[in-house]
Amino acid sequence: MEREIITTADGSKTIQIKEWNEQYHSKHGAIQEAYHVFIKNGLDLFEHQDLAILEIGFGTGLNAFITLLEGSKKCLSIHYVAVEAYPVSVAEISQLNYVEELDALEKQRDFEKLHSSPWHEASSITKDFTLQKEQKDFNDIQSSSQFDLIYFDAFGARVQPELWTVQIFEKMFRALKNNGVRVTYAAKGSVRRAMQEVGFEVERLPGPPERGKC
């Protein structure tokens, strides 16, 4: 499917799938959404420990990059596994402006390493951040009691309803350690019920603010 780079309301870029009218991040702000959903309501729950994170949908690497930045501020040691079936291209990566927008020019090399690191093996991106990218379908996730935190960042149920099902949520539940946390951006009733059915305790949190609103 045709992909196009677009600019979201906070100035950060994302990828749009035109045929689906679906973006990799919110049009209201890619960086803003990533921070709100995955850092504020996910990573920030963890303090000073070794952390294993599973990202379902690596895409542009934005979530991985902000996790690397924030993890380093909090002195976390992170092992990050990211699953992705359709990697973004080098040409697409070169058009993303996350390093500039996050004012993280000294971490440019780390952002590049997130993308250039090999698939299917663990790579040290920094001394405290290891990345293992897995090029495979979400249906093939077979981990068990391995992760403290899961970022579930698939496309929405409107376009990929098959990924918001009991079958996929069971895989995530199995992949989490006891008391693990899974965060996502969707709050639809049917999705919530499917999560509860596999055993998740579900908490609905306020969404990110839209630009221009207080």
Ligand X SMILES: C[S@@+](CC[C@H](N)C(=O)[O-])C[C@H]1O[C@@H](n2cnc3c(N)ncnc32)[C@H](O)[C@@H]1O
List residues near ligand X by CB under 6 A. Answer: 24, 57, 59-60, 62-63, 83-86, 137-138, 153-155, 160
CB of 52 closer than 8 Å to CB of 81 = yes
* Complex with ligand X: residue 32 or 60, whichever CB lies closer: 60
Least Cβ distance, residue 84 to ligand X (angstroms): 5
Q: Backbone phi, then psi, for 142, in 5-degree steps?
A: -125, 15
Least Cβ distance, residue 154 to ligand X (angstroms): 5
* Complex with ligand X: residue 24 or 169, whichever CB lies closer: 24
Closest CA to 113 of 97, 124, 98, 128: 124
* Complex with ligand X: residue 22 or 128, whichever CB lies closer: 22
Least Cβ distance, residue 82 to ligand X (angstroms): 8
Q: Which amino acid is at 148?
A: D
Position of minimal CB gap to ligand X: 59
Gap between the Cα atoms of 50 and 75, Å rounded:
9
* Complex with ligand X: residue 75 or 119, whichever CB lies closer: 119
Cβ neighbours of residue 116 closer than 8 Å, sequence gap 6 or more: none
Residue 156's Cα: distance from chain center in Å?
13
